[in-house]
Amino acid sequence: MKILLIEDNKEISDNISKILRIKDRDYKITQVFDGEEAIKRFLLESFDFILLDLMLPKIDGITLCERIRLKSKIPIIIMTARWQDDDKILGLEKGADDYIVKPFKIEELFLRIQNILKKIHINQIEKFWDVEINFLDKTIKKSWKSINLKLKEFQILEIIYRRKTISRADIITNIWWEWDLFSDDNKLDVYIYSLRKKLWKHIIKTIKWFGYSINRNYEI
């Protein structure tokens, strides 16, 4: 499992990373030390979990949590020295799944990660027609065969699937953050075409003058 660890204190970050790897050898930890770098890595790579400090340089943890949650349902645990209830409530309101106060035992953090993963594993596999989407593992199967999707392709498929209908503008601003009307619009067309070609030409329904939806009820 790939974890994005966002913590500006390098010593704390190194300790968390080292012990989590010992607890579970399958954990792959990417360490970043400020909010700006965190956003860049999040957009460039695919992660399964985020550990997020609140007191970060460049972009604070609450703002970062809010921006990430607009784009993804990835599990987030906030780690902070702030113990006041108001801070905890704000973090949860902005989309965090859990909240742990420093100093904490790594064993407790590990258990919290495991508990969240158990909860979200339910209903993470969706099936329709001959397509199976595993949102937890970020894998796709068609007729029992694995389909290789690029990260942006999976992100676009997921955001369309999780919304009944979604506009082109919403997809672009969620996937690319900054919207260049011409270049990003063309990029989206390319990705939609690729998804239809790899999975099924009718999987994504075009809603004229608006956007897209997943075509769950297509009549062959």
Domain range list for the chain: 2-121, 125-214
pLDDT computed for residue 181 by the predictor: 45
Q: Tell me, yes or no, if the two domains 2-121 and 125-214 fold the same way.
A: no
Q: What is 125-214's CATH topology?
A: Arc Repressor Mutant, subunit A (1.10.10)
Residues 6+ apart with CB under 8 A from 166: 159, 160, 211, 212, 213
Torsion from C-alpha of 88, 119, 170, 197, nearest 10 degrees = 160
Residue range 28-54: mean pLDDT, rounded: 91
Place 187 in a pLDDT band, splitting at 50, 70 and 90: confident
CATH of 2-121, one of 3.40.50.300, 3.30.450.40, 3.40.50.2300, 3.40.47.40: 3.40.50.2300
Whether the per-residue pLDDT at 220 is higher than 60: the answer is no
Residue range 129-138: mean pLDDT, rounded: 79
pLDDT computed for residue 28 by the predictor: 87
Whether the per-residue pLDDT at 180 is higher than 70: the answer is no
More confident residue, 151 or 216: 151
What percent of the chain lies above the pLDDT cut of 90?
39
Q: How many CA atoms does the CB half-sphere of 35 hold within 13 Å?
A: 16
